[in-house]
């Protein structure tokens, strides 16, 4: 009986301590690198740190940039979204040669998180919900952070960036696809979602992040989403679940056994939803021959589409 009481006491303590620790981590502890003062974006590679959200003063985000010597205000801007490893600088470096040849300003946000191997809500799921499942206001969604970065660059440089393109691979591809679906007021022009591991289907009967169930209805505008220039870019050989970290949950597996199949299934479902609702559909699907789950090769293919 004594051991049972001790066990119950320990369990009760954990039930209190775990949510309390999660609350402190999410809402109290400083998260991210130290803020930098606003400054003009230099030629070459650089980084800056700004607040991720207006309403969360303790959250900051590092943003890597690359400005070609011949890029001028009014030129093309490409956001490069990293994968699960949150390695933004490496992703930026992959695009530097293309940025020089196509005269594109590169912007690579770094959604750093020490628990990135276990937590997806703050990045590829858009931060619609906390890790505890509590809904966040749209002002704290990751898509709003992108718009905040654009505003910061405009203010610091005297620019007037009115639109941007975006490429993301793997987890970054998930980010691009969900931004296209759930940020109707964003300045996204062309989005390339390369090899996402799972998708948010335009289905209100499936729980987010695999469908739209539970999402703030004011963020859902399929007409606006389907009018965007969105490319689902898939590697022909991205059929090996051991490449990267593939979501094998029940709802994810219902989308297909591997990334290639999931992308094809999602695209067909999105096109069918547009047809059923009489909406214009500007999305397209492209398959890269001979390529698997390889960011560098997918980025090279994406550069040819911009």
Q: What is the pLDDT of residue 32?
A: 75
Position 21 scores a pLDDT of 47
Task: Say yes or no: 6 and 72 in one domain.
Answer: no
Nearest Cα residue to 246 out of 84, 81, 113: 84
DSSP, collapsed to helix, strand or coil, labels residue 253 as helix
Which secondary structure element, helix H or strand E, spans residue 71, and what is its range? none
108 and 213 in a common domain: yes
CATH number of the domain enclosing 81: 3.40.50.1820
| Domain identity same for 26 and 100 | no
Question: What total number of domains does the chain contain?
Answer: 2
pLDDT at 111: 95
Asked, as a colleague might, if the bond just before 209 is cis with ω within 30 of 0, I would say yes
61 contacts 109 by C-beta, under 8 angstroms: yes
- Determine contact, residues 281/268, Cβ cutoff 8 Å: no
Q: Same structural domain for residues 7 and 92?
A: no
CB atoms within 10 A of CB 95: 22
d(Cα 104, Cα 127) in Å, to the nearest integer? 28
- 285's enclosing H/E stretch is strand 284-288
pTM (predicted TM-score): 0.90
DSSP H or E segment with residue 15: helix 2-27
Residues 19 and 141 in one domain: no
Do 26 and 130 form a contact (C-beta atoms < 8 A)? yes
Are residues 22 and 46 both part of a single domain? no
Clarify whether residues 87 and 45 are in a common domain. Answer: yes
Q: What is 169-202 written as a DSSP string?
A: ETHHHHHHHHHHHH-TTS-EEEEEEES-S----S
Q: How far is CA 56 from CA 59, 61, 130, 134, in A?
A: 6, 12, 13, 15
Residue 168's alpha-carbon distances to 107, 179, 192, 232, in angstroms, are 12, 11, 6, 10
Q: Are residues 217 and 282 in the same domain?
A: yes
Residue among 130, 129, 159, 135 nearest 41 (CA): 159
- Residue-number span of the structural domain to which 19 is assigned: 1-30
Q: What pLDDT, on a 0 to 100 scale, did the predictor assign at position 30?
A: 45
The confidence score (pLDDT) of residue 20 equals 46
164 and 237 fall within a common domain: yes
- Strand 44-51 and strand 60-67: the pairing is antiparallel
Q: What is the pLDDT of residues 38-83, one digit of tens each?
A: 999 999 999 999 999 876 667 999 999 999 999 999 999 999 999 9
**Are residues 94 and 13 part of one domain?**
no
Give the CA dihedral 188, 192, 194, 199, nearest 10 degrees: 50
Tokens at residue 178, please? 């969900």
Q: Do 13 and 56 fall into the same domain?
A: no
**If the chain, 306 residues long, is cut into consecutive pieces of 10 residues, what is the mean pLDDT of each piece?**
58 53 49 89 98 80 98 97 96 98 98 85 95 93 97 98 98 98 97 98 97 97 98 97 88 97 98 98 98 98 97
Buried b (16+ CB within 10 A) or exposed e, 114-146: eebeeebbbbbbbbbbbbeeeebebebbbbbbb
Are 168 and 20 in a shared domain?
Answer: no
């Amino acid at each position: 009986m004594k051991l049972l009481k001790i066990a119950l006491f320990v369990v009760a303590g954990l039930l209190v301590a775990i949510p309390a620790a999660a609350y402190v981590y999410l809402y109290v502890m400083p998260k991210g690198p130290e803020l930098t003062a606003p400054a003009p974006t230099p030629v070459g590679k650089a980084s800056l740190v700004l607040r991720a959200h207006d309403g969360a003063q303790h959250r900051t985000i590092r943003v890597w940039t690359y400005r070609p010597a011949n890029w001028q205000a009014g030129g093309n801007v490409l956001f490069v979204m990293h994968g699960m490893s949150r390695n933004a600088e490496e992703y930026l470096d992959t695009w530097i040669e293309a940025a020089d040849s196509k005269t594109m300003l590169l912007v690579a946000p770094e959604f750093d998180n020490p628990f990135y191997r276990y937590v997806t809500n703050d990045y590829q799921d858009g931060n619609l919900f906390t890790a505890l499942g509590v809904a966040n206001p749209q002002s704290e969604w990751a898509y709003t952070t992108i718009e905040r970065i654009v505003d910061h660059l405009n203010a610091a440089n005297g620019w007037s960036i009115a639109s941007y393109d975006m490429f993301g691979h793997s987890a970054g591809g998930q980010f691009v696809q969900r931004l296209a679906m759930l940020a109707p007021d964003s300045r996204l022009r062309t989005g390339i979602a390369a090899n996402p591991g799972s998708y948010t289907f335009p289905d209100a009967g499936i729980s987010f992040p695999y469908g739209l169930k539970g999402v703030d209805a004011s963020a859902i505008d399929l007409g606006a989403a389907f009018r965007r220039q969105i490319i689902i870019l898939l590697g022909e050989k991205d059929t090996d679940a051991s490449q990267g970290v593939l979501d094998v949950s029940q709802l994810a597996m219902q989308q297909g056994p591997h990334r290639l199949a999931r992308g094809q299934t999602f695209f067909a479902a999105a096109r069918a939803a547009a047809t059923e609702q009489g909406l214009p559909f500007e999305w397209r699907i492209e398959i890269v021959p001979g390529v698997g789950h390889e960011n560098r090769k997918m980025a090279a293919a994406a550069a040819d589409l911009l």
